[in-house]
Amino acid sequence: MKIPRRAFLGSSLAAMSAAPLAAANPKPGKGGSGKRGRREPDPSSRPPVVISTWPFGKPANDRTLEVFRSGKGGLDAVEQGVRQAEADLSNPSVGLGGIPAAHGIVQLDACIMSGPGHRAGSVAAVEGFKHPVSIARRVMEETRHVMLVGEGAQRFARDRKFEEGPAVTPGQKAAWEAWKKAQEAEKAKVPNHDTIALLMLTPSGDLFGACSTSGWGYKIPGRVGDSPIIGGGLYVDNTVGAAGATGIGENVMRYCGSFLVVEFMRQGMSPTEACLATLHRIASLDPKGYDLSVNFIALDKRGRYGAAGTGQGFQYAVACDDFSKVLQSPGVTQKPVGPLGGNRL
Ligand code: GLY
């Protein structure tokens, strides 16, 4: 599978042309005022509706709906959807096909969240297990904790006979060896990574989410990104909506990014507005401004969905009873003018 990549490290977003909000969504909305600069209203779908990050989210969405239609609940559905991405060893960003940490072994982060009961489970820096999202679910269901990491998470998984897998795939091992050599020669490039965050609204109005990644390629072993952090890479509030993130975790977790998206939806913003407002909040506080790699997806209780990212934005996938497709999010590179530029951010 060919996975579109984002060159987010070593790239200069400042070099990209400035794109105000209006340019990111140039067409006047069908239901909007038609005034120049107005965004289209967010699309909505009758549930079940599933949204996830990147084009590799499309098969994960389809699997989520398939599991749901077979009579399973929303939690089973989002878990199985993310497992689909984790099982694809050609994906260098999710599961054991991922780029390893600097010691040559893949370390996986994942979490899961159920709107009903406001329950969450999470694991980080897990080596040698194929489906960290399922380990995260068991942490949620079988312990009084939310998060287990490293050796403790592995022991927990081993005790429960979770499926084990290679420390690293042969292809990634060869790439890592080349990286090591280049690093010795101080010529190593930092590779890219993406993440799957997946959100679902069921016909009964319940929200569920899951997130999984191999994280930053050649990271310092033990580094944990935003993906397993509840409120960072994923947040589900069954009264409002859900959000998930992809990009450089350090730039998401310092701002409780997914939590903030949901809080903006609580204030009345649509999913896309909430993602944009969160990006502007982050850029307003971060010394690097918009020169970050941060992207959000969001889904609200009404079935409205949206996304936004820094720079040129990113691709995300949506599926419901009527369609399954990949969409392009709006992107932001500068402070907005108009309503989103005010103190509400
Ligand atoms: N967003 C995934 C990570 O930074 O690890």
In a domain? residue 333: yes
DSSP 163-186: PB--SS-HHHHHHHHHHHHHHHTT
Provide the domain limits for residue 188.
6-18+44-340
Q: Which atom of ligand 1 is nearest to the CA of 249?
A: 4
Q: Which atom of ligand 1 is nearest to the CA of 216?
A: 5
In a domain? residue 257: yes
Q: 226 alpha carbon to ligand 1 midpoint, in Å?
A: 5
Question: Residue 123 to residues 45, 103, 144: CA-CA distances in angstroms?
Answer: 32, 20, 14
pLDDT score of 16 more than 60: no
How many structural domains is the chain composed of? 1
Name the closest-CA residue to atom 4, ligand 1.
249
Q: 66 alpha carbon to ligand 1 midpoint, in Å?
A: 27
In a domain? residue 113: yes
Q: Which atom of ligand 1 is nearest to the CA of 109?
A: 5
Is residue 324 within 8 A of residue 317, CB to CB? The reply is yes
Q: 32 alpha carbon to ligand 1 midpoint, in Å?
A: 35
pTM for this structure? 0.88
Q: What CATH number is given to the structural domain containing 62?
A: 3.60.20.30
Q: How confident is the model at residue 8 (pLDDT cuts 50, 70, 90)?
A: very low
Active-site residue (options: 53, 195, 202, 278): 195
Nearest-Å Rg of the Cα atoms of the chain is: 19
Is residue 46 within 8 A of residue 303, CB to CB? The reply is yes
Specify the pLDDT at position 268. Answer: 96
Q: What is the pLDDT of residues 251-267, one digit of tens each?
A: 999 999 999 999 999 99
In a domain? residue 336: yes
In a domain? residue 115: yes
In a domain? residue 237: yes
Specify the pLDDT at position 345. Answer: 52
Q: Which atom of ligand 1 is nearest to the CA of 246?
A: 1
In a domain? residue 29: no
Q: 60 alpha carbon to ligand 1 midpoint, in Å?
A: 18
pLDDT score of 152 more than 80: yes
In a domain? residue 23: no
Let me know if 195 is a catalytic residue: yes
- Name which of 51, 50, 147, 131 is nearest 85 in CA terms: 131
Give ligand 1 pocket residues (Cβ under 6 A): 195, 213, 215-216, 225-227, 233, 246-249
Q: What is the pLDDT of residues 183-234, one digit of tens each?
A: 888 777 777 778 999 999 999 999 999 999 999 999 999 999 999 999 999 9
Specify the pLDDT at position 254. Answer: 97
Angle between the 257-266 and 271-285 helix axes, to the nearest 10 degrees? 130
